Amino acid sequence: MQATASALPSPVATVPPTLSPLPTPSVPPGFTLAIEPQETEAEPGSGIAYHLSVVPEGGFNETLTLVLDVRALFVTQRYDLGTLAPPYPQSLIYRLEVPATLPSGITLEGTLRAEGGGIVHEADILLHVR
């Protein structure tokens, strides 16, 4: 028997598959709003320092208008906190004075409203008068 040499197939070049980057989900422009403390106690005639923060999302860069509505019993008081302009993130401290004429034992309910670029966010606070 005679061995015959068989021809080996020529090597085939393999090309690794081309990876396409996955599309990055786009986040629509917006912002988050936070206020601390969300619930606290104070005496009539004292003040509370509230820390407000705005963090942008998706490239948000609009000016915000800030308003705080405070309700106690049958009365509502609106505080215009002004505007907050980019760049973000930003934080600020707002001092709320508790009227000396408020009776002890009531709770003030507040709503912080931030509006800009067609977007509105609200954050609630509670202040218990001792």
Q: What is the mean pLDDT of the chain?
A: 89
pLDDT on residue 58: 96
Taking the model in full, what pTM does it have?
A: 0.77
| Number of structural domains found in the chain | 1
Categorize the per-residue pLDDT at 5 as very low, low, confident or very high, splitting at 50, 70 and 90: low
pLDDT on residue 45: 96
26 vs 57, which has greater pLDDT? 57
Phi and psi based region of residue 58 (left: phi greater than 0; alpha: psi -120 to 50; beta: remaining): left
We report the CATH number of the domain holding residue 67 as 2.60.40.10
Domain assignment present for 5: no
Domain assignment present for 75: yes
Domain assignment present for 67: yes
| Residue found by looking up tokens 């005639």 in the block | 45
pLDDT on residue 115: 98
Give one DSSP letter per residue of the chain, joined into a string.
----PPPPPPP----PPPPPPPPPPPPPSEEEEEEE-SEEEE-TT-EEEEEEEEEEETT----EEEEEEEEETTEEEEEEEEEE-SSSSEEEEEEEEPPTTSPTT-EEEEEEEEEETTEEEEEEEEEEE-
73 vs 111, which has greater pLDDT? 111
Domain assignment present for 4: no
